[in-house]
Amino acid sequence: MSRLAIDYDDVVAAHRRLAGIAHHTPVLRSATADARSGAVLHFKAEHLQRVGAFKFRGGYNAISQFDRDQRVAGVIAFSSGNHAQAIALSARLHGIRAVIVMPEDAPAIKIAATRGYGAEVVLYDRYTQDRETLGRELAEAEGLTLIPPFDHPHVMAGQGTVAKELFDDVGELDTLLVPLGGGGLLSGCATVARARYPRCRIVGVEPEAGNDAQRSLASGEIVAIDTPRTIADGAQTQALGRLTFPVLQQCVDEIVTVSDAELVETMGFLVGRMKQLVEPTGCLAAAAAFTGRARLEGQRVGIVLSGGNVDLNHFAELISTTAVDETTRAYQD
């Protein structure tokens, strides 16, 4: 096995750096969810993390390792929202400048929060401009250190602390379901699972419209796609990273996909039955459990709810039909 970008010791070190800074988020249970999936589900509630998403872990872990010159110059990142907020808050906590490149159609709540944490926001068109090129040009011009949203060892290690905490709290699991965009969260979590419980089945979940990871693992090389049109804005990535891909190749058992309609239905279930406000991307793993895509019957399962940053008006629009259906079923029951 070739040397990967991170190992379990890197995650343990990240967990120490985050101690007392990141929230140790709770693990939620639901008898209704168990009955629906035919499994015993453990929901790792990263939508209750600082900035409303797991991304804070990786962002803080990366910035905490800056040297003096990097701290003086500042940091730059590109993100649809959650990584943006993570870097903005982490930079504020370290007293350094942050510049964030964000798509102009990112949820308004995410743009506002990023600015609220003190970052300078540069907007771009995700369908006509390349965020990586823009970010690297700004980094070079202003001497900023670029922290990409997933393809960075310190980011990957920080995200792996999600799984470390989950296993610390609930012990061994038969299957771990993790949302998948660029692979930072999944690569970190898979690293932990393989080290702690080698028999645990690791499944990544991405939107149907953006199944580049599924295709990449099937072909044995990174497959790039056009920006997928999906409500899961945190998973609108075009390709896996050169660092995340080898980890997924060696550690992940399967990639499954879910539709936008299934994400909406899952959002409705989580808010209606479990009283948890979770954004579309954050629902990817739960949707795979509820649709049966991951084959979980009789298993103990970990599910990462990765984020909760969604515009409330948009959320209401998305789940309005689902909410009516849920109410109807409740009365029929």
* Other C-beta atoms lying within 10 Å of the C-beta of residue 140: 11
Mark 250-274 as b/e (b = at least 16 C-beta within 10 Å): ebbeebbbbebebbbbbbbbbbbeb
Rg (CA), the chain: 19
Would residue 55 show up in a list of annotated catalytic residues for this protein?
yes
Would residue 210 show up in a list of annotated catalytic residues for this protein?
yes
Would residue 320 show up in a list of annotated catalytic residues for this protein?
no
Q: What is the DSSP letter of 39?
A: S
Which of the following is catalytic: 37, 79, 80, 90?
A: 80
Would residue 164 show up in a list of annotated catalytic residues for this protein?
no
Would residue 110 show up in a list of annotated catalytic residues for this protein?
no
Burial (CB count within 10 angstroms: exposed 0-12, middle 13-18, buried 19+), residue 198: exposed
Which of the following is catalytic: 37, 46, 55, 110?
A: 55
Which of the following is catalytic: 37, 79, 90, 306?
A: 306
- Point out which residues pair with 123 in neighbouring strands: 102
Which of the following is catalytic: 59, 74, 183, 210?
A: 210
Would residue 206 show up in a list of annotated catalytic residues for this protein?
yes
Which of the following is catalytic: 10, 206, 265, 279?
A: 206
Question: Which of the residues are catalytic?
Answer: 55, 80, 206, 210, 212, 306
